[in-house]
Structure 1
Amino acid sequence: MSDDLDRILLSHRTAGPLAGIVVADLSRVLAGPYCTMLLADMGALVIKVESPGGDDTRGWAPPRLGEESTYYLSVNRNKHSIALDLKSPEDLAVVRRIIDRADVLVENFKPGGLVKYDLDYESLRISRPDLVYTSISGFGTGPGADLPGYDLLAQAVSGMMDLTGYADGEPLRVGVALFDVITGLHAATGILAALRDRERSGLGQHVELNLLMSALSGLVNQTGAYAAAGVVPTRMGNEHPSLYPYGPFPARDKEMIVAVGNDAQFASLCVCLGIPEAAVDARFATNASRNGHREPLRALLVERLMTRDAADWFTLLKAAGVPAAPILTVAEGTRFAEDLALDPIVSSGTPQRSIPTVRNPIGFSRSRLDYPIAPPLLDGDHAEVLAWLERTPPRRPAP
């Protein structure tokens, strides 16, 4: 057993707001691993139980860092990997021992897929009524249980793709598996709420999430418009359905965003652009009137914006309190965050194996977040996890 890793296992349970919480992570791909990484960043001890073939995302490449998939690396830091075959009685016994010591279990097997191993919620709640058992599916446990839980399918059936793109163009996917990420955030929120409830009741519970409901919730005002008023939103390209100007406009060198949220901001924009008279023009003076006269207003704004570079307008508009920003690449956006002293990139791991990752976005005034463990190699912590099982007693639920 590695003494260095043993110290990390011990210290990782004494630092952070979730210190002392143990998570049995039986999830893979994105929603579950993103959730458990957030918990691990906050101090939970997360044991990632993988199949002998490993998490699917280990093979999702390019891009790679060396021989490793950057997709996998992006959502698996601060965890410990042990590869176990649930079909093996010996390995299944190890999984049970891990769960016996866990506060939280996270899984995203196909609904019903763990029943044959007696690792489903109904089987475990008898012996572990204090366990917070978290299940993530694509489309719930009813008629949608057989649908594969892929983010792209959720983007398709939720209406997201129908909303994304230009009115006369094809539906488009979002450039990231957004609903996986939102579901992971919802899962982390549900787990924290269930742990808080357990402090009062002594009982765990089944926390259930699915991509489709997270998608419909994440579409906020768009699904809200349909729920409240029966309004079916449509593709508008980069236009906002309720605000104008609110989107990209061409400056002299590149496109930039102008995002006016109220009439005062519009007046300030007009002053900066040298057209103060537009702020009192009856066609543009209010948000409602601007929505009704988008084309003439756009022509006026583009004429003025094309006289300077996007960076110059950004400086001027920022000083005037007008929401605006240049449209950047991911690399430029990361450097922009660095310029704002947000420290977006952190190294996870030790000098022997250090992986650059994106910092957890949550900040605490008192608690500390750290990144002592690099995304684990497949089964890289097998011996250490077994040693931890030997010295760690099972949880004993309160009577």
Structure 2
Amino acid sequence: MAYELLKGLRVVEGASFIAAPSCGLHLLQMGAEVIRFDPIGGGPDFARWPLSPGGDSLYWEGLNKGKKSIALDLGRPEGRELAQRLAAAPGEGGGLFLTNYPVDGFLAHARLAALRPDLISLRVMGWADGRTAVDYTVNAALGVPLMTGPADLPDEQPVNHVLPAWDLMTGAYAAFVLLAAERRRQATGQGQEIRLPLADVALASLGHIGQIAEVLVGGADRPRYGNDLFGAFGRDFRLAGGERIMVAAITRRQWSGLLEALGLTEAVAALERDLGVRFDKDEGERFRHREQLLPLVEAAMAARTQAQLAPLFDRLGVCWAPYRTTLQALNDPQILPPDSPLFSTIEHRSGHSYPTPGAAAELPGLVRQPPGTAPRLGQHTDEVLAEVLGLASGEIGQLHDAGVVEQS
């Protein structure tokens, strides 16, 4: 389950892919009840990769753990009506609806608010004008893949990023906005429609970190810098034993610790005198003069092993990490300790047991419960129809007989 900070809130989720379901997961892990409805047989992400050896979606299993599931025939008016009633079901902590269905249609806010005026609906979108988008297409439209990759790539050759950053950020931001609207409803009794386009989260994020201003004020796109850390000193280095590590020297302590560990304090001081700069006081100067600094650092790194540098780096406050595969990382007890409060080994619906994360935040004084498992599709259909919509057993039976709902 989760912490219980949001105990008493009921969120209904009619959504697929990453952004909206991850929002529901964040809320659940803080104690909200999350009821997910899907088409009978599963929605468009029910079998999405990665898959278990048996063909179950590990993706769906991870994003929906702990949620309740109801399966509806959304192609029929009766199924769509049940989805509407569920989203707008009565109850003090209810009336919170999370979706990525289109603005217009049977789940439009106006249709649902007619059933419950204080309804809060949060709709994750692609673009604000209704066009569809996913993380990869948003990045392509905003120029991110043309800033990514080796510096010697042709200007027109994009490099896509493997991490769906905007999806994940949108899910987290959606949870924040939904709770902000719920706080307003407590004070005013008013519902709210919230539209949250993936592209707007991306644009706002680039603006927050100065990248929009950089391009518009400077009048040019940022070029590729390969693995160099933009605006400070950092990149990958190969060591004497063949290992490759990433080093980032942003703060003064990280920079001075790196020089001390590599025995470069005097050599870099001489370079500063020649150039008339102070690398310790201005991280930007380290980036600006990286072509002069890199040969010194590369030679010092190439003469030392990771076993030699690791204790020095850690003692001197150097920010660094070895390059490893994900499998190597997960076998490192420092990364995934057996007693980690974040992870619990859970047996999942796929039949596999593996370390499973719960809520990422640590709240001292409160108990973080082990995460749940993803439900079987339609596992809670009868329970939800009875407890949330108040249907009698005979009514539920008729819906089953008509094929409008399904219970796994």
TM beyond 0.5: yes
Query: Which residue in 2 is equivalent to 1:315?
Result: 311
**Paired residues of 1:47 and 1:79 also in contact (CA < 8 A):** yes
Cα deviation, 1:297-353, whole Å, max 9, x if unaligned, reads 111111111122235423211110111111222233333322496444324578997
Take 1:276 and 1:372, find their aligned partners in 2: how far apart are those partners? 49
Cα deviation, 1:64-118, whole Å, max 9, x if unaligned, reads 1633111111211110111112232332232233223333101101332xx2x2x
Structure 1 residue 237 and structure 2 residue 234: aligned?
no
Query: Could you state the TM-score of these two structures normalised by the residue count of structure 1?
Result: 0.84
Q: Which amino acid aligns with 1:386?
A: L
Match of 1:258 among 235, 247, 252: 247
Take 1:295 and 1:83, find their aligned partners in 2: how far apart are those partners? 60
Match of 2:144 among 124, 145, 160: 160
**Paired residues of 2:102 and 2:108 also in contact (CA < 8 A):** no
What secondary structure is seen at the aligned counterpart in 2 of 1:171? coil
Structure 1 residue 380 and structure 2 residue 370: aligned?
no
Q: Which amino acid aligns with 2:11?
A: V
**Paired residues of 1:104 and 1:132 also in contact (CA < 8 A):** yes
Cα deviation, 1:199-241, whole Å, max 9, x if unaligned, reads 2111121121111111123333423423665553222111122
What secondary structure is seen at the aligned counterpart in 1 of 2:46? helix
Q: Which amino acid aligns with 1:150?
A: V
**Paired residues of 2:52 and 2:350 also in contact (CA < 8 A):** no
Query: Which residue in 2 is equivalent to 1:120?
Result: 108
Query: Which residue in 1 is equivalent to 2:265?
Result: 276
Shift in CA distance, 243/98, structure 1 to aligned 2, threshold 3 Å: same
Query: Which residue in 2 is equivalent to 1:33?
Result: 21
Structure 1 residue ranges (4+ consecutive) displaced by more than 6 angstroms after TM superposition? 349-354
Flag structure 2 segments of 5+ consecutive residues without an equivalent.
392-408
**Paired residues of 1:337 and 1:343 also in contact (CA < 8 A):** no
Flag structure 1 segments of 5+ consecutive residues without an equivalent.
1-11, 393-399
Shift in CA distance, 361/231, structure 1 to aligned 2, threshold 3 Å: farther
Take 1:97 and 1:212, find their aligned partners in 2: how far apart are those partners? 30
Shift in CA distance, 278/200, structure 1 to aligned 2, threshold 3 Å: farther
Match of 2:197 among 188, 210, 214: 210
Take 1:234 and 1:320, find their aligned partners in 2: how far apart are those partners? 33
Q: Which amino acid aligns with 2:168?
A: V
Query: Which residue in 2 is equivalent to 1:139?
Result: 127
**Paired residues of 2:120 and 2:182 also in contact (CA < 8 A):** yes
**Paired residues of 1:41 and 1:371 also in contact (CA < 8 A):** no
Aligned residues: 372
Take 1:340 and 1:293, find their aligned partners in 2: how far apart are those partners? 44
Take 1:240 and 1:137, find their aligned partners in 2: how far apart are those partners? 32
Query: Which residue in 2 is equivalent to 1:300?
Result: 296
Take 2:200 and 2:164, find their aligned partners in 1: how far apart are those partners? 15
Cα deviation, 1:92-150, whole Å, max 9, x if unaligned, reads 232233223333101101332xx2x2x3112222432322100011111x2xx23x222
Match of 2:38 among 25, 50, 53: 50
Take 2:353 and 2:29, find their aligned partners in 1: how far apart are those partners? 15
Shift in CA distance, 242/342, structure 1 to aligned 2, threshold 3 Å: farther
Query: Which residue in 2 is equivalent to 1:389?
Result: 388
Cα deviation, 1:227-262, whole Å, max 9, x if unaligned, reads 665553222111122112x12111222111111113
RMSD between superposed Cα atoms in Å: 2.7
**Paired residues of 2:70 and 2:380 also in contact (CA < 8 A):** yes
Query: Which residue in 1 is equivalent to 2:71?
Result: 83
Q: Which amino acid aligns with 1:382?
A: T
Query: Which residue in 1 is equivalent to 2:395?
Result: none
Take 2:285 and 2:72, find their aligned partners in 1: how far apart are those partners? 63
**Paired residues of 2:88 and 2:112 also in contact (CA < 8 A):** no
What secondary structure is seen at the aligned counterpart in 2 of 1:268? helix
State the shift of 1:273 in Å. Answer: 0.6
Take 1:337 and 1:330, find their aligned partners in 2: how far apart are those partners? 10
Q: Which amino acid aligns with 1:161?
A: P
